[in-house]
């Protein structure tokens, strides 16, 4: 049997005789009720030990819920066996977590996965493969951004920090870390850089087309310059079934925007500049062929590198952001002839994105505005001179104040007509203070 013993100062202890002799469990300052409750638990465990039986479910559950400090007191008396030490858990490291995150994103495109891997490479180069996630602080994140800015362009640094923020946000949601060290960083969206805009004139575009090695390359270039397609994703997704020859329309499937509602496809006109290149490839295509571009579908076909060679062969210098500026050129060109909401529907972007990343202001715009202002000024001067040389008509002359008063005294009044009309006089009967009598 076990018993509760009261000690001075409100302290209590439980004394019992077990297989190892008399033992004591010191409880400290606890209420008598709590001490009696614990004493009953000790007696239940003693009885099970003496009879060689397992503990009942309720007592076993109570025992499992005891904190380590109290459980150790019970184990020290031989009343219960020591607890097995918990396996040492290693902190989650940066490299292993980001690898798991990327491999688990089966929903992203291959290009996006490549960008995530590049962001992972930059992180582990700076922090180390085995750096614990929990050891990276907001200050460390700020220093990482500064390091990127010292070696890379502003937009590139923004992209890498934005993806790092994405990684750590996922770690927070998994309760692996308490806070996102990149969470306070602002301005991670890519900014437009007008200095990298380039408008490819039709003359230079023709020179590039002449230097293309075959009809399919000419069509790839034409789809970018005159169709405004995103290269290579929208080019390679184009099928012959998407070309509506009768209605002069082409359905463009966009892997980039398909996750947005209504963004999986759009239609563009079969522009006159684009039609001959599409017809040329169609005439060379074997019946039954599904895709429009089939010669350069290999993943090893680097269209950017090939276009640089073609541009050099054409006697031109490669411009920044080769394919994006072809798309930018076409959107700028179309915006001069069609409403912007129509152009954005054809190109598959929003008006905000178009204004920020695609629409260009060219020298020709300033020249045309200056020319228009000069013409307007000349016309205005000519009109003023004509008006000055022409004498006023008799009908437009207004009477003097003396004439007005004299006529008014004679029962005549003048009514001012609308602008551009003359004064007209008419006879009225003076009324005085008496009502007018009918004749």
Average pLDDT over residues 399-418: 44
Cβ atoms within 10 Å, residue 168: 24
Q: How far apart are CA 242 and CA 252, in angstroms?
A: 7
pLDDT value of residue 108: 82
pLDDT value of residue 366: 85
CATH of domain 94-191: 1.10.150.130
pLDDT value of residue 410: 43
| Omega cis (within 30) before 225 | no
Q: How far apart are CA 375 and CA 383, in angstroms?
A: 12
Going along 39-160, which residue ranges are E strands? Answer: none
Work out the pLDDT band at 2, boundaries 50, 70, 90: confident
Is 195-363 assigned to CATH 1.10.287.1060?
no
423 has pLDDT over 90? no
Q: How far apart are CA 97 and CA 102, in angstroms?
A: 9
pLDDT digit string (tens) for 111-123? 889 999 999 999 9
pLDDT digit string (tens) for 278-335? 999 999 999 999 999 998 887 556 899 999 999 999 999 999 999 999 999 999 999 9
Share of the chain above pLDDT 90, in %: 52
pLDDT digit string (tens) for 226-240? 999 999 999 999 999
pLDDT value of residue 251: 96
- Give me the chain's average pLDDT, please: 84
pLDDT value of residue 416: 36
Work out the pLDDT band at 415, boundaries 50, 70, 90: very low
Average pLDDT over residues 142-171: 94
Average pLDDT over residues 93-111: 90
436 has pLDDT over 50? no
18 has pLDDT over 90? no
Average pLDDT over residues 386-391: 56
pLDDT digit string (tens) for 22-48? 899 998 998 999 989 999 999 999 888
Domains 94-191 and 195-363 in one fold = no
Task: Identify the burial level of 54 via C-beta atoms within 10 angstroms of its C-beta, where 0-12 means exposed, 13-18 middle and 19 or more buried.
Answer: exposed
pTM above 0.75, yes or no: no
Q: How far apart are CA 313 and CA 309, in angstroms?
A: 6
Work out the pLDDT band at 138, boundaries 50, 70, 90: very high
Task: List the domain boundaries for the chain.
Answer: 2-76, 94-191, 195-363
Cα-to-chain-centroid distance, residue 270 = 30
Q: How far apart are CA 243 and CA 281, in angstroms?
A: 13
pLDDT value of residue 99: 95
Cβ atoms within 10 Å, residue 424: 10
pLDDT value of residue 196: 86
Which residue in the block uniquely carries the two structure tokens 């980001």? 98
Between 263 and 147, the higher pLDDT residue:
147
Between 375 and 418, the higher pLDDT residue:
375
Work out the pLDDT band at 19, boundaries 50, 70, 90: confident
pLDDT value of residue 401: 53
Share of the chain above pLDDT 70, in %: 83
Cβ atoms within 10 Å, residue 311: 20
Which residue in the block uniquely carries the two structure tokens 């990149």? 182
400 has pLDDT over 80? no
């Amino acid at each position: 049997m076990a018993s509760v013993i009261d000690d001075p100062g409100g302290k209590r202890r439980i004394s019992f005789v077990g297989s190892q002799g008399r033992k004591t469990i010191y409880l400290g300052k606890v209420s008598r009720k709590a001490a009696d409750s614990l004493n009953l638990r000790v007696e239940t465990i003693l009885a099970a030990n003496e009879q060689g039986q397992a503990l009942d479910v309720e007592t076993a559950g109570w025992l499992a819920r005891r904190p380590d400090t109290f459980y150790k007191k019970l184990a020290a008396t031989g009343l219960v066996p020591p607890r097995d030490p918990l396996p040492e858990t290693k902190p989650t490291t940066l490299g292993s977590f980001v690898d798991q995150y990327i491999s688990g994103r089966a929903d992203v495109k291959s290009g996006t996965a490549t960008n995530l891997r590049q962001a992972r490479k930059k992180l582990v180069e700076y922090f180390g493969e085995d750096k614990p996630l929990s050891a990276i602080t907001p200050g460390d994140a700020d220093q990482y951004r500064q390091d990127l800015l010292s070696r890379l362009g502003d937009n590139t640094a923004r992209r890498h920090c934005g993806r790092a923020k994405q990684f750590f946000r996922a770690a927070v949601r998994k309760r692996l870390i308490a806070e996102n060290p990149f969470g306070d960083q602002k301005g991670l969206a890519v900014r437009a850089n007008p200095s990298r805009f380039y408008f490819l004139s039709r003359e230079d575009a023709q020179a590039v087309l002449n230097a293309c090695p075959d009809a399919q390359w000419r069509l790839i270039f034409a789809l970018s310059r005159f169709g405004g397609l995103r290269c290579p994703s929208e080019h390679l997704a184009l099928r012959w079934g998407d070309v509506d020859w009768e209605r002069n329309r082409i359905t463009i499937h966009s892997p980039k925007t398909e996750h947005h509602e209504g963004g999986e496809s759009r239609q563009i006109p079969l522009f006159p500049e684009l039609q001959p290149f599409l017809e040329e490839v169609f005439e060379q295509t074997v019946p039954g062929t599904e895709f429009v571009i089939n010669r350069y579908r290999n993943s090893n076909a680097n269209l950017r590198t090939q276009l640089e060679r073609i541009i050099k062969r054409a006697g031109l210098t490669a411009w920044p952001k080769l394919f994006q500026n072809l798309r930018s050129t076409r959107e700028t060109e179309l915006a001069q002839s069609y409403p912007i909401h129509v152009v954005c529907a054809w190109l598959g972007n929003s008006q905000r994105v178009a204004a920020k990343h695609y629409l260009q202001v060219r020298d020709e715009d300033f020249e045309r505005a200056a020319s228009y202002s000069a013409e307007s000024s000349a016309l205005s001067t000519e009109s003023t001179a004509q008006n000055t040389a022409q004498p006023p008509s008799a009908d437009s002359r207004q009477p003097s104040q003396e004439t007005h008063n004299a006529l008014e005294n004679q029962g005549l009044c003048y009514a001012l007509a609308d602008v551009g009309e003359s004064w007209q006089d008419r006879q009225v009967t003076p009324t005085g203070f008496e009502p007018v009598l009918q004749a």
